[in-house]
A and B are shown apart, each in its own frame.
Chain A
């Protein structure tokens, strides 16, 4: 089960949702902009530092399975389908659909780089899930947006319930001898379709119950007010500055070419005077926020002013 958000008393948890989202958006953006795989590694380490500072490292790290599966799948599939790259390491047979197998070192590296990038992005979103309250994101939006956000929040809240329903349904069927988890693909599909139908109808029942409960509590009766107040504190300003600095530095690095990393036709790395500094920038900025977080936990002065 994927760990969900839990309220904690940490610098990151107490951020204004807008500043927390901006920080996460910046991390995702730099992971997408920079091709250099070492940069993806530093983004992952920076995210780990932030998770540690927020006291959610264990939960954050538990996403490793998803990261590994997605990363490995990308790393394996790319060399099989890519026809680029100058250094051929294996000339294989011709297969249906895939064609002639010709695996190059560059395609393997590109696959690994993309896998690493996906893992970095997943882990950044894990940080978002663990430290930003979905209700606070809902509270940020008003009018039409708030309805969409409510639907999203409700859907997210129902995910664990639906997963549990599906598990219970499978258990109920297995308990009377129905085989639902082995056999041929066709047999699996055949045995699981009725289960899917039942999960959907159970979700629909739950949805109707929820709609009833919402209407009984005056939802849709007019303009809503907002219970939670979100103050934009100095700590949020620092978070925003950190996020903008990181984004600016990476954009500048990418534009000047010092972060360039080309896989095809053969691997080439651009290295300039600022490359190392840029590669380390996510770590430095994450360390800065972690330091602030450390101080925030120990000093009432910082806590009250940030």
Chain B
């Protein structure tokens, strides 16, 4: 009998419950990871991904306490009997929010921090630090203050600061959830290079599968604490067939609908597959997107039309430190439109929308909301017409229960108390959060909190709803539900404006897309025109169907193009 190769990381029948929790966060998880493997950890919010990551480096149970059964062995060390410090030489961990893991003030000091804790000699430290800074291309920013670095740079410093300790296992808990697509791509590519060149085990917990599925040697899926799948990415497609929701890249999910084998896992494979399946002629845009509206940008606005939801003319905004965030933007958003603002970090998207409810005031130019000049009108007054949900739902939520949270908004809007009950009931029902009516929002999962925060704005039915990055750090299931709520709200005649990096989400929800860059609107029009005309700011579907059916940007259109749907 041949000797079975033992993994560097062995998790056996692991169950764990946080202190004070009845239900276990991990239930009988068994997993073996061999040296050099890239393991992608998938699952919905609250499925136990973060807990499993923390079990690998000993933070669970040493930092959190709780009840643990089974065992986790890393390079022969039992994580229960070894300390986190001992394990830190073998397991390096990068957390979700780069800001919450930076201890010192400069990139160089941050990278050296772990080595100082290990008590290494200065010469040895210098060698390791310089090597890591050079390999991650951080040498130029070594002396910069952490607060001056972009999110992507901060996350790379975090990676460098664990890599410098020469770990054998790198664990990353949603490291790109706070990054824009370009920074995320850069970060993950470097991670893959480290995995290839150094033979490190990489365990990556992620929601945005499009970004990293093609890097994985193996995929593990968690569902409410149980491991429901562990295998190669290609095996996962077979396992996924017939399941309602699976964490797969959009292009892979598209082909799961059809019959036959050879489901593509990457855009490249998808493109080849499309070329195989689609007859060798270009499909007309109106075949795949018959409902496609005409671009409204060039049309002259008739005088008898009611005032637009938002009208911006010649808007400039310069921040105190001199950054020109918005530079001469002209824009009209009509009532009942569903618009997405896309573009890289710092392109001016958030600055622009903050003018819609008066959080920022124009340096130059004019902003009109439903025909009223926003100048001089208080934010609280503008909020009646334009409700806005910021990037962090935690900052929206103040009350001890969901119901009380919604009542704060209604009281602020002077809504007569006798109609509160009906409004709250409708909103809770629409967002499917009736069961959390009496729950403390802080006790809910990330996706549930996002819905409560959205409810706190939707409850008073603002004519214009602005959402800033609503899909950051949320799983696919939550995104699908959010898309459905927003479409419903829009269909009731409300204007919805979405600021997002999530192009797939924007394409599924919106009709019109504005691409921003360098403080200006670079492209504005129907989503098909803007996305199909962009190389990078477009969906996986469009990338696959380019040259065959250029108008394809959504899943439905892609299915139609393949002839899967009638």
Q: Per-position contact with B for A222-235: 1 when CB-CB < 8 Å, else 0?
A: 11111111000000
Smallest CB-CB separation from A211: which chain B residue? B63
Tell me whether A225 and B121 are in contact (CB under 8 A).
Answer: yes
Given A218-B89, A221-B118: A198 and B395 interface contact (C-beta under 8 Å): yes
The complex places the Cα of A58 from the Cα of B326 at a distance, in Å, of: 25
Contacts of A223 in B (CB 8 A): 119
Tell me whether A218 and B117 are in contact (CB under 8 A).
Answer: yes
| 29 A/B residue pairs, CB under 8 Å, sorted by A | A1-B321, A4-B147, A133-B106, A135-B105, A153-B105, A157-B146, A165-B395, A169-B395, A172-B396, A174-B380, A175-B457, A176-B396, A176-B456, A179-B380, A195-B398, A206-B99, A210-B103, A213-B95, A213-B102, A214-B103, A218-B85, A219-B85, A219-B117, A221-B85, A221-B117, A225-B125, A226-B116, A227-B109, A228-B112
Contacts of B104 in A (CB 8 A): 135, 138, 153, 157
A93 within 8 A of B: no
Spell out A's residues near B (CB within 8 Å): 1, 4-7, 133-135, 138, 150, 153-154, 157, 160-161, 165, 168-169, 171-179, 194-195, 197-198, 201-202, 205-206, 209-229
The complex places the Cα of A133 from the Cα of B387 at a distance, in Å, of: 43
Which of B328-336, B406-414, B554-562 faces chain A?
B406-414
B533 within 8 A of A: no
Question: Nearest-CB distance from B395 to chain A (Å)?
Answer: 4
Size class of the B contact interface (CB-based, 8 Å)? 35 or more
- Apart from A202-B394, A213-B93, 8 more pairs, CB < 8 Å: A6-B145, A178-B409, A194-B399, A212-B63, A220-B117, A221-B118, A227-B122, A228-B109
Contacts of A217 in B (CB 8 A): 88, 103, 113-114, 117, 161-162, 165
Contacts of B303 in A (CB 8 A): none
B101 within 8 A of A: yes
Contacts of B95 in A (CB 8 A): 209, 212-213
Residues of B312-339 whose CB lies within 8 A of A: 320-321
Contacts of B388 in A (CB 8 A): 175-176
The complex places the Cα of A229 from the Cα of B113 at a distance, in Å, of: 14
The complex places the Cα of A165 from the Cα of B396 at a distance, in Å, of: 11
Question: Nearest-CB distance from A106 to chain B (Å)?
Answer: 40
User: Which 5 pairs between the two chains have the least Cβ-Cβ distance?
Assistant: A221-B85, A209-B100, A213-B101, A227-B112, A177-B412
Tell me whether B119 and A222 are in contact (CB under 8 A).
Answer: yes
Tell me whether B103 and A174 are in contact (CB under 8 A).
Answer: no
Tell me whether A174 and B383 are in contact (CB under 8 A).
Answer: yes
B384 within 8 A of A: yes
Contacts of B359 in A (CB 8 A): 171, 174-175
The complex places the Cα of A165 from the Cα of B97 at a distance, in Å, of: 14
Tell me whether B85 and A176 are in contact (CB under 8 A).
Answer: no
Tell me whether A218 and B118 are in contact (CB under 8 A).
Answer: yes
Residues of B112-140 whose CB lies within 8 A of A: 112-122, 125-126, 129
The complex places the Cα of A122 from the Cα of B113 at a distance, in Å, of: 31
B392 within 8 A of A: yes
B460 within 8 A of A: yes
The complex places the Cα of A168 from the Cα of B391 at a distance, in Å, of: 9
Contacts of A1 in B (CB 8 A): 320-321
The complex places the Cα of A224 from the Cα of B144 at a distance, in Å, of: 24
Tell me whether B103 and A133 are in contact (CB under 8 A).
Answer: no
B84 within 8 A of A: yes
Tell me whether A227 and B162 are in contact (CB under 8 A).
Answer: no
Contacts of A153 in B (CB 8 A): 104-105
Contacts of B456 in A (CB 8 A): 176
Question: Nearest-CB distance from A117 to chain B (Å)?
Answer: 29
